[in-house]
Amino acid sequence: MQRHEHLLTELRRSGAVRVSDLARDLGVSELTIRRDIAALAARNLVHRVHGGATLPAATRPLPPRATRPATFTIGMVVPSLDFYWPPIVAGARAAGAALGVNVQLRGSSYDPEEDRRQIARLVDAGQVQGLLLAPCLDGEDADRMIGWITRLPVPTILVERQPRRWTAAPRQVEWVRSDHSLGLEIAVNHLYDQGHRRIGLVLSGGSPTSAYLLRGWHRACADLGIPDDAVNPRHTVGLGLTALIVHSDPQAIAVAQACAEQGIRVPDDLAIVSYDDEVAHLASPPLTAIRPSKNHVGRTAVELMVSRLIDGDRRPVQGVLVAPELVVRQSSLARRVRA
């Protein structure tokens, strides 16, 4: 069956799949996907987990026996347990299951002091050999937070975060994050290919992603020779814009609803591309979106940590960028393409 082949292909690519993602991609109900997973699990081709599936133990990649570690426990602190972060946590847990590693999760908030409390609890308990962290790195406290992290007694890897600059700390902080700048460039080039030359960008205030998106925006506009002055535009029609890139999905859906109320047709009068692709498919019309590979970010972070724990200082410090992907839907397609 074609759905089964698609499901298995995605599993081999990422190691774990979510029911909601497969249902959205294939245009079927979540109940249908659950039945598909159950049928494949009965043949021992997948392993059922809450909300999705992973590869069965027999097919999961493991390090060579000579270097396979005793079971590690890795602490993971994320600022939220909803919206953006569950796929990252799922990816980390899938990689942990494949490598025989326990992932101990703690939820924090977008507050440096709460981050420190949650991290300290994991370290003080003495049960973790490494930490995956997504701390608040805004404002003047960012460098102090990085300095504090470098003094922790166990290796640390930042997830969806990156130090702003090199420091003279005895141990540099490693990181894995989505390449949001590249994602924004992909969005601009997609709209350019659809014939748009006046494109606007709407950013989420206070989001750590915004700085990366703005960097990609200026780079893409410069490369294509189009104006880059329409950032957070208030009146798109008055500015003559024909397309918008909006971060994130809820804001993009709100823009699409406001357009409908004002008689602005999407995409005929205004094309919209959302950034995140959590709920963009629920809009009317469904929104084209840039989808960060969150599951892969979580998987890569665990794999990088296991490599660090096995090799120690013999392995050089690494920073890893994971490319997002473009998911094309109705909201950005030119009339000639949609026909």
pLDDT single digits (tens) 174-230: 999 999 999 999 999 999 999 999 999 999 987 889 999 999 999 999 999 999 999
Please list the residues that pair with 178 across neighbouring strands: 322
- Cα(42)–Cα(37) distance, rounded to whole angstroms? 9
- Cα(36)–Cα(33) distance, rounded to whole angstroms? 5
Greater confidence, 20 or 59?
A: 20
Is the pLDDT at 107 greater than 50? The verdict is yes
pLDDT number for residue 56:
66
Instruction: Tell me the CA end-to-end span of the chain in Å, nearest whole number.
Output: 29
With contact defined as beta carbons under 8 Å apart, do 80 and 109 qualify?
Answer: yes
Instruction: State the alpha helices, DSSP H only, in the chain.
Output: 2-14, 19-26, 30-42, 86-99, 112-124, 141-150, 180-193, 210-224, 249-261, 294-311, 335-338
- Provide the mean pLDDT of the chain: 88
- Cα(257)–Cα(130) distance, rounded to whole angstroms? 45
- Cα(321)–Cα(114) distance, rounded to whole angstroms? 27
Is the pLDDT at 69 greater than 70? The verdict is no
CA distances from 3 to 43, 53, 137, 159 (A): 15, 14, 42, 32
Q: If you count them, how many residues does the chain have?
A: 339
Phi, psi of 179 (to 5 degrees): -85, 80
pLDDT number for residue 298:
96
pLDDT band at 12 (very low <50, low <70, confident <90, very high): confident
pLDDT band at 168 (very low <50, low <70, confident <90, very high): low
pLDDT number for residue 60:
46
Is the pLDDT at 337 greater than 50? The verdict is no
Q: How many CB atoms lie within 10 A of CB 190?
A: 20
Is the pLDDT at 51 greater than 80? The verdict is no
DSSP H or E stretch at residue 163:
none
DSSP letter string, 235-294: -TTTTT--EEEEESHHHHHHHHHHHHHTT--TTTT-EEEEES-SSGGGSSSPPEEEE--H
| % of the chain beyond a pLDDT of 90 | 62
With contact defined as beta carbons under 8 Å apart, do 24 and 56 qualify?
Answer: no
* Domains of the chain, each with CATH number or no CATH: 1-54 (1.10.10.10), 73-178+295-322 (3.40.50.2300), 180-292 (3.40.50.2300)
- Cα(264)–Cα(181) distance, rounded to whole angstroms? 29
37 token code pair: 């997973």
Tell me the per-residue pLDDT of 263-313, one tens digit each, with 9 for 90 and over: 999 999 999 999 999 999 999 999 999 999 999 999 999 999 999 999 988
Nearest of 1, 61, 13 to residue 37 by alpha carbon? 1
pLDDT number for residue 58:
45
- Cα(171)–Cα(316) distance, rounded to whole angstroms? 11
With contact defined as beta carbons under 8 Å apart, do 75 and 93 qualify?
Answer: no
pTM confidence score: 0.78
Least confident of 33-42, 217-226, 253-262, 302-311: 33-42
- Strand 199-202 to strand 243-247: parallel, antiparallel, or no bridges (unpaired)? parallel
Measured at the CA of 250, the angle between CA 175 and CA 258, to 5 degrees, comes to 145
Mean pLDDT of 64-84: 75
Is the pLDDT at 94 greater than 80? The verdict is yes
